[in-house]
Structure 1
Amino acid sequence: MKAILLAAGLGTRLKPLTNTIPKCLVPISGRPLLSYWLEKLANLGINEILINVHYLAEQVENYISQSPYRDKITIVKETALLGTGGTLKNNAQFWKDEEVIVIHADNFCLSDLSGLINSHNVKPAHVDMSLLLFTSNQPTQCGIVVMDADNVIHEFHEKVSNPPGNLASGALFVFSDSVYERYFKELKEHTFYDLSKDIVPNMIGKMQGWIVDDEYMDIGTPESYERAQKLI
């Protein structure tokens, strides 16, 4: 399995902290957020990682150049943001015929994710993708899913005013090797696509949910950032 860490975002909700540091490098208990992800992926046995960069890209590149995991990492610099789906399409050669875990590097996760990988390995034959889920106390701000008894997702509601529950997408995906051919092949290159809005809805009935077994959150606001500091 390969990994893609999406790390190009501007971090606007976390200003003024992100005026001088990219969100993927904000310190959590003295360690850059990105370092937690790289360590987690190494512990899962993943040896090929692609990271896209854009905002304050030089800082991310400098950090990776000194990382003990630098030989596992390919950096892709985006001169213009392509969105999460556009990044995947433009870098298809890295992952298109492989299983790949796709992670937003500005999220914080205490789970080792072994349960997610194990769940994906025994998924039903018709399922193409596994999605990490968590219980949200702000469901209107999240993508909310509805699953059946087999954990197959049959509804996905992206940030609606009256969500049908509080089981939320963590925007952390494990793709099977069929995903590119079925969902990305016909997309245009060098075009902005949002993974959760433009691609995931096409996977309804073909993706399974896995409820995370430890803390998981978006480090998108000063409040969530402070909560992560307390947790660690």
Structure 2
Amino acid sequence: MKAIILAAGYGTRLRRDIENDPTGRFSHLSGIPKPLLPVGPTALISHWVRALGATQYVDTVLVVTNSHYLEAFEKWAAQFPNVKVLSDGTTSNEERLGAIACLQLVIKHFKIEDHVIVIGGDTLFKEDFSLATVITEFSDLQAKCNESNLVLSYECKDDETSKYGILEVDADLRVRCMKEKPLPSQTNSRRACPCFYLLSESTIPLLDKFLEEKKAAPIEERDAPGNFLSWLILRKPVYIHQVSGRFDVGNLAAYIECDNFFKENFLQLKSYLV
């Protein structure tokens, strides 16, 4: 199994927050891509690489970034023999390809014909998350139907539905509908869906079809991974695995919360993510 970490964003919200922070406490983080931000004792993305290696299910971790941050990621990756870094060739947020196009780029460049774990490079999960558990559940689904896919879900608050993609599922926890940033009154579900997907080998070719259909659409329709997921559930079985929550390092406040949690708790999280 291959893991692909999406790290080609430019972190415009976080950069703006750092520049506007009157305390200046976080000015040293300016210019650092979100996945390389220090979270507790190590870079955010390093938590994933170490956990993925420890599971023994994943043989290679592929990181897609942009040309602007390529050197920083290559320097970071030198410590991990199982990590390969690829640039999407862009140098600014305005040029960005979008997350789905970056995912397709990695798959074609490395000629991947395997199941894939897709991870958002600015995301970590609470301490109850276990890669081994999730991968085992995916394997069980595959044994029943080799076209099955698995995504994560966590309960959000009523006033947070308009921030996320919200999944509606049946009694078997199969996703039947995904609503993008609905009002609380527009869905009874509170199942938010972060960017962590286990995609079956049979699903991978559908990336080409999705992007072909969306080639004339605005970049926003090709950027958010949830847009592909919403499209996919009409064509392939997609199931959920429930977790308690996540850290989404989208802005400075979210980064501070995440960093503080790991500074206070990391020594107790001996097998974090594994």
* Contact 2:117–2:198 under 8 Å retained in 1: yes
Deviation track 1:70-115 (CA, whole Å, cap 9, x = no partner) reads: x212211122222111012222233642011000111012423222
Where does residue 49 of structure 1 map in the other structure?
61
* Contact 2:165–2:226 under 8 Å retained in 1: no
- In structure 2, how many angstroms separate the alpha carbons of the residues matched to 1:209 and 1:216? 15
- In structure 1, how many angstroms separate the alpha carbons of the residues matched to 2:106 and 2:45? 20
Q: 1:165-184, aligned counterparts within 5 Å?
A: 165-181=189-205, 183-184=206-207
The structure with the greater share of residues assigned to strand is 1
Tell me whether 117-126 or 172-181 shows the greater mean CA deviation.
117-126
Name stretches of at least 5 consecutive residues in structure 2 with no aligned partner. Answer: 19-25, 91-95, 263-274
Q: Say which of 88, 96, 102 aligns to 2:103.
A: 88
Q: Say which of 230, 241, 250 aligns to 1:210.
A: 241
1:125 and 2:145 correspond: yes
Where does residue 162 of structure 2 map in the other structure?
140
* Structure of higher CA gyration radius: 2
Q: 1:1-232, aligned counterparts within 5 Å?
A: 1-15=1-15, 16=18, 19-45=30-56, 46-54=58-66, 55-65=68-78, 67=79, 69=80, 71-80=81-90, 81-93=96-108, 94=110, 96-109=112-125, 110=127, 111-123=129-141, 124-125=144-145, 127-137=147-157, 138-162=160-184, 163-164=186-187, 165-181=189-205, 183-186=206-209, 187-188=211-212, 193-194=222-223, 196-204=225-233, 206-212=237-243, 214-232=244-262
Deviation track 1:155-189 (CA, whole Å, cap 9, x = no partner) reads: 101122345232110110001110123x223345x
Tell me whether 105-114 or 24-33 shows the greater mean CA deviation.
105-114
* Contact 1:146–1:155 under 8 Å retained in 2: yes
The structure with the greater share of residues assigned to helix is 2
Question: Alignment partner of 2:229: what SS?
Answer: helix
- In structure 1, how many angstroms separate the alpha carbons of the residues matched to 2:31 and 2:7? 15
**Structure 1 residue identity aligned to 2:182:** V
Q: CA deviation at 1:223?
A: 2.1
Tell me whether 193-202 or 145-154 shows the greater mean CA deviation.
193-202
Moved over 4 A (4+): none
Q: CA deviation at 1:197?
A: 4.7
Q: How many residues align?
A: 225
CA spacing shift, 1:146–1:223, aligned 2, 3 Å: same
Question: Alignment partner of 1:101: what SS?
Answer: strand
**What's the Cα RMSD here?**
2.1
Tell me whether 20-29 or 105-114 shows the greater mean CA deviation.
105-114
CA spacing shift, 1:57–1:114, aligned 2, 3 Å: same
